[in-house]
Amino acid sequence: MFNSFSKVGGYLMKSILVYGDSLVWGRNASQKDRHSFDDRWPNVLASNLKDVIVCEAGLGGRTTDLEFAGRPGRNGLKHLSVALLQAAPLDLVILALGTNDTFAEASRKPRDTVNAMRSLIKVVRDLPTAPGTSVPNTSPPKVMIVSPPHCLPLSSVTGEGFPELDELTRWLPELAQLYSELAIEQDTYFADAAKFCEPDPIDGLHLDVKNTWKLGVGIAKTLALEEFADFC
């Protein structure tokens, strides 16, 4: 059962929300600006699917459930319900968060971020019964967890890097493994972004145009292997 009711050109369109951080927003490390609309990976994803509307909800610095000192509005858990209500009805929600948790809290452990992701999944699934919901008679959206791409060690960065990179080179692979286990536990889709793309050496963390395309295409191919094969 699909929840979306929008018709474009006479076709029933299915709807995906991509909720994430600066990689979803489209941070361009080399120019310190934003990738063009067509080059941001959620829109690359849309271009590789059929009869689908993809809603971008990316914000630089967004965490799973942490406040980020000096960067208001970055708590992903606190603001997810608003993004869901704005985009509803939805067939699929892609949750692509995790990297910024270590920037917001140096002592953060991958297991803590996994617990936060579990809470995000619950919020998605509660959409039809959430207070003030506009879609009470729909099925809960399906969920996909996307683990972040790996980063480069600070010594490999050619431009201005982040002090947290060396820790992240160990932290992110552990998070990906735990996310894959969470996906089994929660019966969600899962994609490891590190299998599709590599960070830009300019800052060791964000993606260039080539790799945003690789990520969008990789997510589309992953969906093609799942129940959402009719999206592709």
Give one DSSP letter per residue of 58-81, joined into a string: E-TT-BSS---TT-TT-BHHHHHH
Here the CATH number for the domain that contains residue 79 is: 3.40.50.1110
Q: What is the pLDDT of residues 167-220, one digit of tens each?
A: 999 999 999 999 999 999 999 999 999 999 999 999 999 999 999 999 999 999
State the pLDDT confidence band at 226, using cuts at 50, 70 and 90.
confident
CA–CA gap between residue 35 and residue 14 (Å, rounded): 25
Per DSSP, the three-state class of 53 is strand
Asked if pLDDT for residue 10 goes beyond 90, the answer is no
What is the average pLDDT score of the chain?
A: 93
Q: What is the pLDDT of residues 112-156, one digit of tens each?
A: 999 999 999 999 999 999 999 989 999 999 999 999 999 999 999
> What's the confidence (pLDDT) of residue 83?
97
Domain count, the chain: 1
Number of Cβ atoms within 10 Å of the Cβ of 155: 9
The angle formed by the CA atoms of residues 119, 42 and 104, to the nearest 5 degrees, is 45
> What's the confidence (pLDDT) of residue 80?
98
Is 2 part of a structural domain of the chain?
no
Is 117 part of a structural domain of the chain?
yes
> What's the confidence (pLDDT) of residue 13?
82
Domain carrying residue 144? 7-231
Name the burial class of residue 69, with classes exposed (0-12), middle (13-18) and buried (19+) by CB atoms within 10 angstroms of its CB: exposed
Is 94 part of a structural domain of the chain?
yes
Q: Return the residue matching tokens 């982040």.
A: 162
Asked if pLDDT for residue 231 goes beyond 90, the answer is no
The pTM (predicted TM-score) of the whole model is 0.94
CA–CA gap between residue 88 and residue 137 (Å, rounded): 12
Asked if pLDDT for residue 45 goes beyond 70, the answer is yes
CA–CA gap between residue 152 and residue 168 (Å, rounded): 8
Higher pLDDT: 67 or 5? It is 67
Is 111 part of a structural domain of the chain?
yes
Is 23 part of a structural domain of the chain?
yes
Average pLDDT estimate for 42-48: 97
Is 17 part of a structural domain of the chain?
yes
Is 1 part of a structural domain of the chain?
no
> What's the confidence (pLDDT) of residue 229?
53
Asked if pLDDT for residue 230 goes beyond 60, the answer is no
DSSP-derived pairing of the beta strands 11-12 and 7-8? antiparallel
State the pLDDT confidence band at 1, using cuts at 50, 70 and 90.
very low
CA–CA gap between residue 147 and residue 97 (Å, rounded): 7
